[in-house]
Structure 1
Amino acid sequence: MAVHCPASNFNVGSGAMPIRKLIDNNIRLALGSDISGGHTLSIFKAMVSAIQLSKLYWVNSGKKYNFLSLSEAFYIATKSGGSFFGKVGSFEEGYDFDALIIDDSDLNHDNYSILERLERFIYVGDDRNIIHRYVCGKLIEEPNI
């Protein structure tokens, strides 16, 4: 498994991960914040950064390698990355119930589909929109960071 830490790539100047090449070669991927080289713990910001960095790679490759879609970034951040830890990262039967309950009422989502609302939250939401957190089916307290 390879772990992509896009914020670290930006901040350290280590270059862009050729993420499409890894996907095309069936390399399992996870997404990380790499807080020592990054600037946020937010997995949602990491998803956005991964998409943005893949678009830069796409342009610099002469548009040879497609950029990362939102659904691919979400998968890498959840089920694919979660597979390293076992049955986490999915709402499928047999998986641990790890979930965030999001209140997106302040994100101006009139007439948006559920998918569009999720995309909007990923791009412009933050921890203030998370009203509940579940780990292994148990409600946990808000972290003090």
Structure 2
Amino acid sequence: MSLIKIIVISLFSLVFITGCANKKENITLKNTKTKSEKIIVEKKVDKNCKNYIFSMKHASSYIKNEFNQAYFKKNDFLGAKAQLFLVKNNSSGIFAKNINKANTSYEKYFTLAVKNKCDLGSFKFLPLIVIENKISLGK
């Protein structure tokens, strides 16, 4: 009878110890999964910010370069002012359409960057406002 008691007690202890050991392993697995998910989310937001800023820089430089090549290199501030008027009024001219598309793209990515809380320190002014200021200084 004592042999049966020893076997029953040892089996009970073995079941109890293995039951406790499995719970600890499950807890550590859950913790590692949540940490890796957080890292992926942070990288994704950072990647989106880089894409938004890249697109904004491209649109802004396109607008500035087009006005520089067409008007500012020739010191044609009156022509630049007229073209800016056409751009603001959504003219059907090719130059105005292209500038408006770039400006719309800039504003779209600016809005997305603000929503994602990206660092927009280098984007204080809209490109058309920069052009407008350059025209007013050039007179």
TM-score class normalised by the smaller sequence: under 0.3
Larger strand share, 1 or 2: 1
Rg larger in structure: 2
Q: TM-score, normalised by structure 2?
A: 0.27
Question: Higher helix proportion, which one?
Answer: 2
TM-score, length-normalised on structure 1? 0.26
